[in-house]
Structure formats: C-alpha cells, structure tokens
Amino acid sequence: MLEAKDVRMYLDKQLQFSSLDERFYHEALVHPAMTMSPSRRNVLILGGGDGFAAREVLKYKDVKSVDLVELDPKINKIAKRKTISRLNDRSLYYVKYYHLDQKEAVG
C-alpha cells in the first residue's frame, strides 16, 4: 500500500509527471547527454516546458544559455506557478523559451 501526497500534471488525460518520481526520469534523461557532450555552453531543449529538464541542465556550471522550445505556452505558464516552480527550482526564470505554432511544427 502506498499513501502519498504529490503533484501531478495530466495533458490530454495522460500523466505527464508526478512529483514523487519525476526527478528519476529527468536525471536519467539529461545527465547522460550532458556528460557525453564535448561542449555544454549552449543547450537546446525541445519540449520540457515543465522546466524539469532545464533544472537538471542548469546544474552544470559551464552552461551559459538554455533555449527551450515548447508547443503549448500553457505548459510554461503552469510551470511558473508556485507549486511547480518550487519543484523545478524556478528554472524557467533562467532560460529563454519559444513557442512553436503546432501548425508550423507539423507542416
């Protein structure tokens, strides 16, 4: 039995993350790529509007800029709210993010 209080985000009825385990996922996603990269000065994140991948990228002192491209501007807005902003260490305040029109992305 597991009794827990966590923060969850759903998108189109699909679980995007739970605060109980999102760190495991984002650490495994980011750190291997960052470790293998010969240069980490400028980083591009595609998706990741919740700010969790950015949080992990920003742990590297040699990172000078992070650009994040997100399809849905609502995700960034939600992720800047207090509850999620605490979880992502306010990472979205340290990156430059862009929103790509979904029609442009597909077309």
- Pick from 55, 26, 58, 23: nearest CA to 40: 58
pLDDT of 74 strictly over 60: yes
Q: pLDDT digits over 50-73, tens only? A: 999 999 999 999 999 999 999 888
pTM, two decimals, is 0.87
DSSP bridge pairs for 18: 8
Q: How far apart (Å, rounded) are the C-alpha atoms in residues 81 and 67? A: 20
Q: pLDDT digits over 10-39, tens only? A: 888 998 999 999 999 999 999 999 999 999
Q: pLDDT digits over 91-103, tens only? A: 999 999 898 776 6
DSSP bridge pairs for 10: 15
